[in-house]
Chain A
Amino acid sequence: MTAEAPKPLEPTELRTVAHRRFDDGRGHRFVYAQSSAAILAIDPLSDRLLDAFEGEGGVAHEILPRVEVAADETSSDNRAIDVQKHEALRDLVDLGLIRPAGEIRAPVADLPPMPFPLATLVLNVTNKCNLSCTYCYEYGEDKLGPGTESKARPMMLDDTARESIDFLFESAGDRPQVAITFFGGETLLNLGAVKAAVTHAEELGAKHRKRVHYSITTNATLLSTEVIDFLTSNRFGVTISIDGDKDSQDTHRVFKSGKGSFAMIEPPIRKLIAVNKERNGRPIGARVTLTREAKSVLETYRFLCEDMGFDEVGFAPVTADPNRDYALEGSHYDGMLSEFRTLAEDFVQAATEGRPHGFANLNDLLRELHDGVNKAHPCGAGLGLLGVSTEGDLGLCHRFVESDEHSVGNVRDGLDQVARTRFLKEGHVDKKSECSTCFARPLCAGGCYHEAQVRQGDPSAPNLHACEWIRGWTDIGLSSYARIMTQNPGFFARFESA
Chain B
Amino acid sequence: MTTPLFLANNPLLGAYQLATQQRRWQLVMGVVMVVLLSLLAAWGAEVDLFKFYENIGNFTSYIGRIFYLDSGLAAIRDPFEWFWGLDKWLWLLLETLMMAYVGTVLGALGAVLLCFMASKNMTRSAYLVFVTRRFMEFSRTVPEIVFALIFVFAFGLGPVAGVLAIAIHTMGALGKLFAEVVENVDMKPVQGVIATGGNWLEKIRFAVIPQVLSNFASYSLLRFEINVRGAAVLGFVGAGGIGETLISAIRKFYYSDVSALLILIILTVMIIDGLTEKLRHSLIGTEVYK
A binds B: no
Give A residues with C-beta under 8 Å from B: none
Interface residues of B (CB under 8 A from A): none
